[in-house]
Amino acid sequence: MVSPLFYSHLSLLILASILWILATVEAQRNVSVGDSLSANDKTMAWQSPSGDFAFGFQSIPTKQDRFLLAIWYAKIQERTIVWYANRDNPETDRDSTIELDNSGHLVLKDPKGKELWRSQRLTDGSQVSHAAMLDTGNFVIASKNSTNIWESFKYPTDTILPSQELDMGDHLLSTLVETSYSKGKYQLRFNSESFILNQIDMFTGKPYEAYFNFGNGSRLVFTESGYIRIQNLNGTLVEVAPINAVPKPDLYYYRATLDFYGVFNLYYYPRNPSGGGSWSVLWFRPMNICRRFINSTITSGRATFGTGPCGYNSICEPIQGRPNCTCPPGFSFLDDNNQYAGCKQDYASYPADCNPDGSTIGEDRFEFKPMSFADFPLGDYGVIKPATELECKQSCLLDCSCAVAILQDPTLSKDGNGTCWKKKIPLSNGWFDRESVDRTALFKVLKSDASTKSPTKSNRSDENQNEVVLILAVLLGTSAIFNFFSLAAISMIFFCLFRRRLGELKGAHSRRDLETNLQFFTYKDLEHATNGFKEELGRGAFGTVYKGELPSSYGDRIAVKKLDKFAQDGEREFKTEVKVIGQTHHKNLVRLTGYCDEAEHRLLVYEFMENGSLSSFLFGILRPSWQQRLQIASGIAKGLTYLHEECSKQIIHCDIKPQNILLDESLTAKISDFGLAKLLMNDKTRTKTGIRGTKGYVAPEWFRNIPVTVKVDVYSFGVMLLEIICCRRCVEVEMEEAAILTDWVFQCYSEGMIEKLVEDDEEARNDVGKLEKLLKVGIWCVQEEPMLRPSMRIVTMMLDGAIQVPDPPCPFSLNSISTSTKTD
Ligand SMILES: *[C@@H]1O[C@H](CO)[C@@H](O)[C@H](O)[C@H]1NC(C)=O
Ligand SMILES: *[C@@H]1O[C@H](CO)[C@@H](O)[C@H](O)[C@H]1NC(C)=O
Ligand SMILES: *[C@@H]1O[C@H](CO)[C@@H](O)[C@H](O)[C@H]1NC(C)=O
Ligand SMILES: *[C@@H]1O[C@H](CO)[C@@H](O)[C@H](O)[C@H]1NC(C)=O
Ligand SMILES: *[C@@H]1O[C@H](CO)[C@@H](O)[C@H](O)[C@H]1NC(C)=O
Ligand SMILES: *[C@@H]1O[C@H](CO)[C@@H](O)[C@H](O)[C@H]1NC(C)=O
Ligand SMILES: *[C@@H]1O[C@H](CO)[C@@H](O)[C@H](O)[C@H]1NC(C)=O
Ligand SMILES: *[C@@H]1O[C@H](CO)[C@@H](O)[C@H](O)[C@H]1NC(C)=O
């Protein structure tokens, strides 16, 4: 038997040794006068008793042999620095040292012993005892009478921690970019009555106006329990964050950081992450950083808040609180590695293409790329109201300083009048928001095939100016009577010049329909161009296409489509639809360049496509390469996305099939015949005309009594995608069990035998991952239920690998009476 006394002795012994261990550890961890660390990979840091935080040198991952004197979370994988020394110039060389000297300062020296930084003193006189890294993340220098001579908490960088406070004089300053420790442009500070966020002027450090206000009060307290509160003037603590959440500091670390893009984020991280943790955002302000800078500017009309997080010429869209900066059409990033640095214009028409009178030289080299829901609410130099879309485009096109026109559609404005704002470079405070921007940005960009050289800059205006200068010179040196006659003469000259210019302008546009910006042709012109409609390129649902060639002043080869049926009394509709088609520009759409609308003749003039249709390419003798086919599929998807979602009026194609996809000389796929379905059907009969499209490609809803939506194109695209993958037609009767491609594909897919589909196509078989992905996309698109089919935007993202493709369900419902393919 062992006596209970033994146990009590034993436990005392254990307790004593634990206490001893704790004591030695603590003693080790507190820093004595004269202790030092040096910046290299081996030295230990000074840790807090729990080991949560450490103070010492951190190497800078992107820069060899550069170090930072910092405090960081010592137990977590993700490198998280909460404080660092010497904000003005925080990076130091290898073998720099930090030492606690006997006057109570931390002194940072470079390898040669030159002092770089020293901690200030909060109190004078008291003698230094030691320094310590505390478990709160505060590094303190303690005096002999146990007050603190210095605390890192009193000199925050961009982060505060639970139990830290910001007083009236304190501020947080963000870093410049995510991976840097340089000073950034956002501040959280006290502005004499409240805590606010503001941008600073980078060159003087002076603050702009606040873009966010956390509330009145003079102290911002991050409590030990994880709440952020503001103590207002009567001493009450007002809750700021988090909202509708209870922090659990025993389970999570918390920190609040003013991030480099101007958002104040409250983050948490599990203390005991099983399988690696990461910082998540619990709360953040402002809710919409892009809008913050703009809203302010809308009300004040000036950029009193700064440029915002995205820089010049770029578009800001918040994604979960963080700005996503993108470049609009015709612009690209200034720095490919930093989306926040702004964008530059790919081709600057100002001042290169300007006549002295401010008009654009060679304006037909430019076109407009629209971006819906986007705006640059600041800095317009011209406003036209009321304005139609045409007037807006015309004005911006002819005005050489105009880079983008912002249009508020008349139908969307309260008073029914459209407004057009003209903007010049650099554009600032651009934002995108589907919910709250009801404007469309029309970017003036050089046409992809246009020369960057302006056509021979006319010397006409220079001459005019010279004439005027000469006349003025004469005028100033002569008598009053002479002046009178001279004045009359000058007026005459101006009048004539003006007339001449007007004439020239008229001449330039005489064959261009101002309303549609399309050339219009007489029937004779086109008869001539096609050599009497001699060479037939193809025959489609709407008419026959002929090859033609224009006299050189216009351009070169064209394809002329002679429409052989159109709705009677369709005069107006023809114009309207041609206008819609004419304004639809995309890399993956065949461009309409002109038309003829004369007596009973209706012809459309398109750019000529070198490589004919996808159909002959795909089902021809030589099989196109796998890579070419992938590119073509992705191009078509992009073109359709544009028709469905991005052009000013949604266009459902209704007849997507390989015959309607044309290929240019570099095998870029271009969709043709878009917009025609509507043109050739009278509105009243539209719902009754029954099926439009081509057998094999038509979606099942045409056979049912449910509305036809853009999803019919998704279906046809799906069928065509499978054809592109397998290089065979969607219906091939002689192939027996494999006759109907969609059925056959799903069968092979569900049996896990997708290689059967590309049996003699080695390239495809060697790329099974892609093959499977594409098949899955195809199967998703041919779902019988329209709701299940993805939008073309999603399809594009799937094809480009931007998102995962989930496993598709069976596309056919078992009890379906007729699927489109089976009715054939
Ligand atoms: C270490 O420093 C802290 C903070 O000054 C103090 O509370 C603690 O007592 C010190 N520990 C020792 C062993 O001196
Ligand atoms: C410690 O010393 C400082 C400076 O001499 C003095 O201001 C402070 O009141 C002292 N604190 C205590 C607790 O004695
Ligand atoms: C803050 O205080 C100012 C006056 O000091 C007052 O005008 C303002 O309404 C207050 N704001 C809030 C949110 O209480
Ligand atoms: C202090 O201010 C808060 C909010 O500003 C108010 O709700 C509260 O009644 C005030 N308390 C006192 C004692 O004045
Ligand atoms: C934008 O400004 C208006 C008017 O000043 C204001 O009512 C609105 O709350 C602001 N919106 C945001 C998101 O700041
Ligand atoms: C940012 O916007 C671009 C263009 O809209 C988009 O492709 C990209 O996925 C967005 N980034 C994020 C993180 O959502
Ligand atoms: C809209 O424009 C018309 C024509 O210029 C004008 O008469 C009318 O007053 C405008 N409406 C408003 C509300 O400004
Ligand atoms: C226009 O002026 C430039 C220089 O001012 C000259 O080089 C050029 O030859 C002139 N062109 C014509 C067509 O006169």
Measured in angstroms, how far is the CA atom of residue 216 from the centroid of ligand 3?
6
Element (H, E) at 372: strand 366-372
Residue 458 CB coordination number (10 Å)? 13
Share of the chain above pLDDT 70, in %: 83
Q: Is 91 exposed, middle or buried (0-12, 13-18, 19+ CB in 10 A)?
A: middle
Cβ contacts of 689 within 8 Å, gap of 6 or more: 681
Q: Which of 375, 525, 655, 713 is catalytic?
A: 655
Predicted confidence (pLDDT) at residue 643 exceeds the cutoff of 80: yes
DSSP strand pairing (518-520 vs 592-598): parallel
The answer to whether the beta carbons of residues 655 and 693 sit under 8 Å apart is: yes
Is the CB of 66 within 6 Å of ligand 5? no
Phi-psi region of 275 (alpha: psi -120 to 50; beta: other; left: phi over 0): left
Q: What's the whole-number mean pLDDT along residues 762-782?
A: 92
Share of the chain above pLDDT 90, in %: 46
Give the CATH number for residue 703: 1.10.510.10
The ligand that comes nearest to the alpha carbon of residue 315 is 6
Which of 116-120, 177-181, 448-452 has maximum average pLDDT?
116-120
pLDDT tens by residue, 305-342: 888 899 999 999 999 999 999 999 999 999 999 999 99
pLDDT at 571: 63
SS3 of residue 529 by DSSP: helix
The ligand that comes nearest to the alpha carbon of residue 232 is 4
Measured in angstroms, how far is the CA atom of residue 337 from the centroid of ligand 6?
15
Give the CATH number for residue 331: 3.50.4.10
Measured in angstroms, how far is the CA atom of residue 214 from the centroid of ligand 5?
15
The ligand that comes nearest to the alpha carbon of residue 234 is 4
pLDDT band at 817; cut points 50, 70, 90: very low
Ligand 7 pocket test, pick from 415, 419, 420 with the greatest ligand atom count within 8 Å of Cβ, gives 415
User: What is the C-alpha separation between 811 and 141, in angstroms, rounded?
Assistant: 70
User: What is the C-alpha separation between 629 and 192, in angstroms, rounded?
Assistant: 64
Which of 196-200, 304-308, 381-385 has maximum average pLDDT?
196-200
Residue 459 CA: which ligand 8 atom is closest?
Answer: 1
The ligand that comes nearest to the alpha carbon of residue 196 is 3
The answer to whether the beta carbons of residues 79 and 71 sit under 8 Å apart is: no
Q: Which residue has the tokens 């042709």?
A: 521
Residue 216 CA: which ligand 4 atom is closest?
Answer: 5
SS3 of residue 300 by DSSP: helix
Measured in angstroms, how far is the CA atom of residue 324 from the centroid of ligand 6?
6
Same domain, 418 and 326: yes
The answer to whether the beta carbons of residues 768 and 797 sit under 8 Å apart is: no
- Is residue 562 part of an annotated ligand binding site? yes
Same domain, 548 and 667: no
pLDDT at 576: 75
Helix axes 711-726, 741-750, angle to 10 degrees: 70
Same domain, 529 and 640: no
Within a domain: residue 201? no
Structure tokens at 550: 């224009």
pLDDT at 735: 80
User: What is the C-alpha separation between 261 and 84, in angstroms, rounded?
Assistant: 19
Protein residue closest via CA to atom 7 of ligand 4:
236
Measured in angstroms, how far is the CA atom of residue 742 from the centroid of ligand 8?
64
Same domain, 628 and 603: no
Domain count, the chain: 4
First to last CA, the chain: 95
Within a domain: residue 163? no
Q: Which residue has the tokens 């442009």?
A: 185
pLDDT band at 619; cut points 50, 70, 90: confident
Q: Is 174 exposed, middle or buried (0-12, 13-18, 19+ CB in 10 A)?
A: buried
Same domain, 594 and 622: no
Same domain, 577 and 655: no
Higher per-residue confidence, 406 vs 460: 406
Measured in angstroms, how far is the CA atom of residue 216 from the centroid of ligand 4?
11
Within a domain: residue 491? no
pLDDT tens by residue, 428-453: 999 998 888 889 999 999 988 877 77
Ligand 5 pocket test, pick from 197, 292, 295 with the greatest ligand atom count within 8 Å of Cβ, gives 295
- Give how far the C-alpha of residue 72 lies from the chain's centroid of Cα atoms, to the nearest Å: 33
pLDDT at 97: 95
114-119 contacts at long range (C-beta below 8 A, 24 or more positions apart): 116/86, 116/89, 116/92, 117/69, 117/85, 117/86, 119/85, 119/150
Give the CATH number for residue 144: 2.90.10.10
Q: Which residue among 155, 172, 199 closes a domain?
A: 155
DSSP string, 184-250: EEEEEEE-SSEEEEEEE-TTT--EEEEEEEEEE-SEEEE-TTS-EEEE-TTSPEEEEE-SS----TT
Predicted confidence (pLDDT) at residue 473 exceeds the cutoff of 70: no
pLDDT at 299: 53
Taking only Cα atoms into account, the Rg of the chain, rounded to an integer number of angstroms, comes to 36
- Any catalytic annotation for residue 95? no
Is the CB of 216 within 6 Å of ligand 3? yes
The ligand that comes nearest to the alpha carbon of residue 291 is 5
Query: What size, in residues, is the chain?
Result: 824
Strand partners, 399: 359
pLDDT tens by residue, 45-60: 999 999 999 999 999 9
Ligand 4 pocket test, pick from 194, 214, 232, 234 with the greatest ligand atom count within 8 Å of Cβ, gives 234
Is the CB of 295 within 6 Å of ligand 5? yes
Within a domain: residue 236? no
pTM exceeds 0.95 for this model: no
User: What is the C-alpha separation between 110 and 686, in angstroms, rounded?
Assistant: 81
Protein residue closest via CA to atom 12 of ligand 4:
234
Same domain, 642 and 595: no
Print the domain residue range for 809.
614-821
Cβ contacts of 714 within 8 Å, gap of 6 or more: 640, 699, 781, 786, 789, 790, 791, 792, 795
Within a domain: residue 487? no
Geometric angle at alpha carbon 5, from 4 and 6, rounded to 5°: 90
CA distances from 147 to 126, 127, 150, 151 (A): 8, 10, 9, 10
Q: Which residue among 556, 588, 607 closes a domain?
A: 607
User: What is the C-alpha separation between 234 and 217, in angstroms, rounded?
Assistant: 9
The answer to whether the beta carbons of residues 662 and 591 sit under 8 Å apart is: no
Same domain, 589 and 555: yes
pLDDT at 455: 66
Measured in angstroms, how far is the CA atom of residue 218 from the centroid of ligand 4?
14
Protein residue closest via CA to atom 10 of ligand 5:
295
pLDDT tens by residue, 572-603: 677 777 887 888 888 899 988 888 888 788 88
Within a domain: residue 369? yes
Residue 27 CA: which ligand 1 atom is closest?
Answer: 13
Same domain, 721 and 787: yes
Give the CATH number for residue 560: 3.30.200.20
SS3 of residue 167 by DSSP: coil
pLDDT band at 70; cut points 50, 70, 90: very high
Residue 417 CA: which ligand 7 atom is closest?
Answer: 1
Residue 144 CA: which ligand 2 atom is closest?
Answer: 1
Q: Which letter does DSSP use for residue 69 in this model?
A: E
Across 102-111, 159-168, 354-363, 630-639, least confident range: 354-363
User: What is the C-alpha separation between 292 and 290, in angstroms, rounded?
Assistant: 6
The answer to whether the beta carbons of residues 634 and 796 sit under 8 Å apart is: yes
Q: Which residue among 578, 607, 636 closes a domain?
A: 607
Is the CB of 466 within 6 Å of ligand 8? no
Same domain, 624 and 592: no
Q: Which phi and psi (to 5°) does residue 521 adopt?
A: -120, 155
Within a domain: residue 543? yes
Is the CB of 435 within 6 Å of ligand 5? no
Residue 30 CA: which ligand 1 atom is closest?
Answer: 1
Measured in angstroms, how far is the CA atom of residue 648 from the centroid of ligand 7?
24
SS3 of residue 73 by DSSP: strand
pLDDT band at 295; cut points 50, 70, 90: low
Same domain, 414 and 527: no
Same domain, 618 and 698: yes
pLDDT at 173: 97
Q: Which of 396, 443, 398 is nearest to 422 (CA)?
A: 396
SS3 of residue 170 by DSSP: coil
Within a domain: residue 523? yes
